[in-house]
Structure 1
Amino acid sequence: MHFLLTGGTGFIGQRLARRIIERGDTLTVLVRRTSKRGPLEALGARFADGDLLTGQGLTEAVKGVDCVLHLAGVTKARDEEGYIQGNTEGTRRLARAMAALPQPPRLVFCSSLAAAGPSVPGQPRREEETPAPVSRYGRSKLGGEEAVREFCDKVPSVIVRPPIVYGPGDQEFLPALLPMARRGLVLKSGLGPKHYSLIHVDDLCTALLAAAERGQTLRQDAPEVGVYMVSDGTEYRWEDFCVTLAEALGRTPPWVLPVPEALSYVVGLGSELAARVRGTVPMLSRDKVREMRCAAWTCSPDRAAKELGFTPAIPLAQGLQSALAASK
């Protein structure tokens, strides 16, 4: 099978690229001229020059492949337009280029639980529920899903929505938590309990490849068909997750300090202003705080299990150990 992979230089993309090559499949990675190709070259990947922000090179890149795995996008941006261009319009340009082919390949879009929106503790999100994103990031990922749907009559398409993804190569989730966990003090936004779904990056790669091979494709008359939530199947309280992380570090369980939501917004605003002065993207923003204040970000992988045969293989404790070992 010949795959075209976008986002191949990122956290998930590099793990997926390795999996594809190890399976014996052919891999072409969409790259810009400034992309770092070294690790992918070492794997034996091919390259296609293209830019999702302009559409340049996409028509040629999608020719002759069996499946496009679309992982490219942004998790942080200076403003809403940055999210829209990175997650919505880039996806639309790719789907449009595929639709122009006489026989378009399959498209698997790696979206996010953020596109569906938060859940309720004990009631994980399911595919048939109406999406209700609460952040710019979530709305832009939902916009990407809608862009894929625009062309699904011509392009056979599947959407995968993962929750928090962690594992070797993670540059955002665990790196932000580890300094606090090592000090024995971890923050959470708000006073109430927080519940989360998680998935190890290697399990996500398994789900994406299963979607490429066996996933039902989108239908205009049935919005839930062709959409798959994936997770390791467990709903974690934030405090319990922090205990498991501390055990992986060989530390005592940390103290979890609730931060009032109003203070979280002030900190987010301060981070935005500081980033504006530096000309960078803020690590924490008010938009991210809107996600953090929600009581639950959980999803049910039941449909993926039934239709894709997806079974997560990596429990949290083992997954954290692998991530920590890779970061040393």
Structure 2
Amino acid sequence: MHILLTGATGFVGQRLARHLIRQGHTVTALVRAVSSPPALQRLRSLGVSCTVTELQESRTLSCALKEADAVMHLAAVTRAADARDYHRVNAGGTRAVLRTAAALGTPPTVVFCSSIAAAGPSTPGRPRTETDAPAPVSHYGRSKLAAEAVVRGHADRVPATIVRPPVVYGPGDPGLFPTLAGMVRAGVGVRPAPSGAHYCLVHVDDLCAALLTALTAGRRLGPEEPGAGMYQVCDGTPRSWQEICRSAARALDRKPPLLLSLPRTAVMAAAAVAEAAARSRGGQALLNRDKARELVQASWTCTSDQARAELGFVPVRTALDREFRAALADP
């Protein structure tokens, strides 16, 4: 099968490209001119063909879509200067892909990798399901929900499925484990959310497996059922921040860090300072106010029941200590 992959230079995209090639697919990646040269080299070394373009460049996009049997659409920004930038890339890029695909005589199947941020936080003790009304709390989450709406709006012309992961980690993880490792090595860290907050995680390889199965066996979006064609995937074990930090400490053979609870106002203030400092250097902060709005929520948990029933999704990388150690060995 010829797969068109967007977001191929990102954390999940690079791992998914590896899985696709191993399964014998032909992969064409749409990459930006500003993409990381090492990431491009890794893709080409796998046998991925890279086409340099922007998603809004309609002629190149149309030619690429005509040759593809399916599209794995992962391209997105997770940090941006303001709401407009999130929507321009996340919703606008998705609109370009779906609109161009819909104009073809035989459009390819689209699997869109969204985020649990589009659904919003959960109530403690009640994980989110696919049919719960979405209530995103961040600009990022709202932009991903807008992108989902674009996919739904073209579902009568383009066969499409949406996969919503929670926090993704694993080899090459740019966010979770590096943050945890820093706290463990410092011996002290912060707990930004209430003490009872729990989180669902998914290993990047389990997410890739779910995306691939969604392509071949998943239901497609349709008007008849709100949750049809939508799959949440996680490892099935909600964990507290303390448990996650202890797993990171064991992976590093260190003592767990002392966790300091921070009030919401302090988290938001720290994020504003980090954001301003990064902006003065012309970059993006790892912690900004948009990310802070997510961090202070009561819980981020979801169920994978629908993915289990319809895709046969069974996560295999669920031992957090072991997977954190593996991430150290395979950065």
Bigger CA drift: 160-169 or 35-44? 35-44
Taking structure 1 as reference, are residues 44 and 118 closer, same or farther at Cα in structure 2, changes over 3 Å only?
same
- 1:34 positional shift: 3.6
Q: Structure 1's 300 and 191: CA in aligned 2 closer, same or farther, altered over 3 A?
A: closer
Q: Which residue of 1 aligns with 2:325?
A: 321
**Which of 103, 108, 128 pairs up with 2:106?**
103
Distance verdict in 2 for CA 1:190–1:201, change over 3 Å? closer
Letter in 2 for 1:98: A
Counterpart selection for 2:307 from 279, 304, 308: 304
Question: Paired residue for 2:241?
Answer: 238
Shift of 1:155: 0.4
| 2:177–2:248 CA contact under 8 A, matched in 1 | no
Residues 268, 292 of structure 2: 8 Å contact kept: yes
* Partner-residue secondary structure (3-state), 2:330: helix
Q: Is the 8 A contact 1:7 1:70 kept in 2?
A: yes
Q: Does 1:61 align with 2:78?
A: no
Computed over aligned residues only, the root mean square deviation of the Cα atoms, in angstroms, reads 1.3
> Please, which moves more after superposition, 166-175 or 132-141?
166-175
1:210 aligns with 2:213: yes
Q: Separation in 2 of the partners of 1:190 and 1:323?
A: 25
Query: What are the Cα deviations for residues 173-222 of structure 1, in whole angstroms up to 9, with x where unaligned?
Result: 22122111122212111443221000010010000000001110001232
Residue deviations 1:63-95 (CA, integer Å, cap 9, x gap): 121110001100000111110011111001011
Q: Specify the alignment match of 1:10 in structure 2.
A: 10
> Which residue of the other structure, out of 251, 261, 266, is the alignment partner of 1:248?
251
2:194 and 2:298 in contact (8 A); partners too: no
Deviates more, 1:4-13 or 1:283-292: 283-292
Residue 72 (1) aligns with residue 75 (2): yes
1:32 is matched by which residue type in structure 2? R
Structure 2 letter corresponding to 1:132: A
Q: In structure 1, what is the Cα distance between the partners aligned to 2:92 and 2:58?
A: 10
- After TM superposition, the structure 1 = structure 2 runs for residues 179-218 of structure 1, keeping only pairs within 5 Å, are 179-218=182-221
The match for 1:22 is 22
Contact 1:6–1:72 (CA<8 Å) still a contact in 2? yes
Matched length: 327
Q: For 1:21 and 1:162, how far apart are their aligned partners in 2?
A: 22
User: Are the equivalent residues in 1 in contact too, given 2:130–2:230 (CA < 8 A)?
Assistant: yes
What is the aligned counterpart of 2:166 among 163, 175, 184? 163
Partner of 2:277: 274
The amino acid that maps onto 1:72 is A
Q: Report the Cα offset of residue 32 of structure 1.
A: 2.6
- Give the TM-score, by structure 1 length: 0.96
Give, in angstroms, the shift of residue 280 of structure 1.
1.9
CA distance in 2, matches of 1:33, 1:253: 42
Which whole-Å CA distance do the structure 1 matches of 2:274 and 2:241 have between them?
Answer: 24
